[in-house]
């Protein structure tokens, strides 16, 4: 039920044309203890973590909360970069095991690339949007 609420919230925000920019972003080579959920749906999930694998990102579409860092964790064996489409946000090189943090200050919907793979990030103002 929560997942359907998140989908409805995400679609409503997309229809409303929400936008915004990051207040800050960082890259770290040694992340703190993992706050990633035990399992992440590869296609759609809620939370604050995106896993960068050797061939994709998980989930491909993440619904997260405004004002909380979204953590992109590089679980591949090679250096990766996160590049936001239509936003001036670039991670710089993220080493294997490293993280990139992006903290949106406003609700927004955006796409990003890690190599040829495109991901989506929907940032919701609702507390119930993330576990």
pLDDT tens readout for residues 55-78? 999 999 999 999 999 999 999 999
Angle at 88 between CA 9 and CA 33, to 5 degrees: 65
pLDDT at 24: 57
CATH superfamily of 2-129: Cupredoxins -  blue copper proteins (2.60.40.420)
pLDDT at 25: 66
- How many CA atoms lie less than 13 Å away from 44 in the CB half-sphere? 9
Over 80: is that where the pLDDT of 99 sits?
yes
Query: Could you tell me which residues are beta bridge partners of residue 22?
Result: 104
Q: Tokens 């993992």 map to which residue?
A: 34
pTM summary value: 0.73
* Residue-range domain boundaries for the chain: 2-129
């Amino acid at each position: 039920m929560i997942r359907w609420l998140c989908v409805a919230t995400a679609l409503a925000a997309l229809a409303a044309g929400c936008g915004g920019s990051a207040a800050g972003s960082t890259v770290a080579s040694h992340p703190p203890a993992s706050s990633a959920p035990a399992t992440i749906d590869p296609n759609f999930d809620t939370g604050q973590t995106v896993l960068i694998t050797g061939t994709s990102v998980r989930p491909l579409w993440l619904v997260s909360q405004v004002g909380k860092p979204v953590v992109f964790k590089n679980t591949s064996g090679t250096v990766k970069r996160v590049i936001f489409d239509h936003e001036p946000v670039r991670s710089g090189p993220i080493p294997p095991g490293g993280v990139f943090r992006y903290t949106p200050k406003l609700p927004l919907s955006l796409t990003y690339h890690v190599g040829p793979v495109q991901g989506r990030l929907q940032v919701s103002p609702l507390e119930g949007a993330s576990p």
